[in-house]
């Protein structure tokens, strides 16, 4: 039985290259518990707060991912240049983006550990593009990711771009992470 995948829709947040995990969630903000619902919100508040505004990393106009006083962002899809998630191996990096409301990232290349943390933890979907779409898409553009046909639609600009198929990675993320995927598929005992 085939399940139709719903498209991911939302505003784009565009970043440059080499966005590292210390920029995604600075070490000073790792003091909050991911298990406490009230403390967890702070990860959304501080997501991407370490991206220096003076560099080309932040979108033009110095727009933060999460507005002052908020814990969830209006942006649902991050479009970045190469090597997204480089740096340390902290699982808090993809977790904070998910807590902020990000549903997907699209970039030509990821740091391997960040990519694996996205998938293994079931946080958000790490799509790969064939080209550097950070040069095409603008922060605030209304995007739609067609997960069935592997197409990124930019409704603001009226353009479409092919993205790479996810393979079994999508099933793991949608299951809620590697352990839940293994349970659902009889690879480990259900608890």
pLDDT tens digits, one per residue of 127-183: 999 999 999 999 999 999 999 999 999 999 999 999 999 888 888 988 888 988 888
- Reported as a pLDDT band with limits 50, 70 and 90, residue 59 is low
Class of domain 8-165: alpha beta
Within 26-82, residue ranges assigned H as helices are 37-46
Categorise residue 51: left if φ over 0, alpha if ψ from -120 to 50, beta otherwise. beta
At residue 82, the 3 state secondary structure works out as: coil
Q: What is the pLDDT of residue 168?
A: 82
């Amino acid at each position: 039985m085939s399940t139709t995948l719903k498209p991911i829709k939302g505003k784009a947040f565009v970043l440059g290259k080499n966005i590292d995990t210390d920029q995604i969630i600075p070490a000073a903000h790792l003091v909050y518990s991911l298990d406490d619902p009230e403390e967890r919100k702070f990860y959304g508040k501080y997501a991407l707060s370490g991206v220096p505004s003076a560099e080309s990393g932040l979108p033009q106009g110095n727009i933060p991912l999460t507005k002052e006083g908020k814990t969830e962002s209006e942006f649902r899809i991050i479009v970045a240049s190469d090597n997204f998630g480089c740096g340390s191996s902290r699982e808090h990096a993809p977790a904070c983006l998910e807590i902020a409301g990000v549903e997907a990232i699209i970039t030509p290349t990821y740091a391997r550990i960040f990519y694996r943390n996205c998938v293994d933890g079931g946080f958000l979907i790490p799509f790969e593009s064939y080209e550097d779409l950070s040069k095409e898409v603008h922060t605030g553009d209304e995007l739609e990711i067609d997960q069935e046909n592997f197409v990124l639609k930019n409704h603001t600009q009226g353009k479409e771009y092919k993205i790479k198929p996810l393979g079994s990675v999508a099933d793991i993320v949608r299951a809620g992470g590697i352990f839940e995927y293994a349970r659902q598929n009889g690879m480990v005992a259900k608890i």
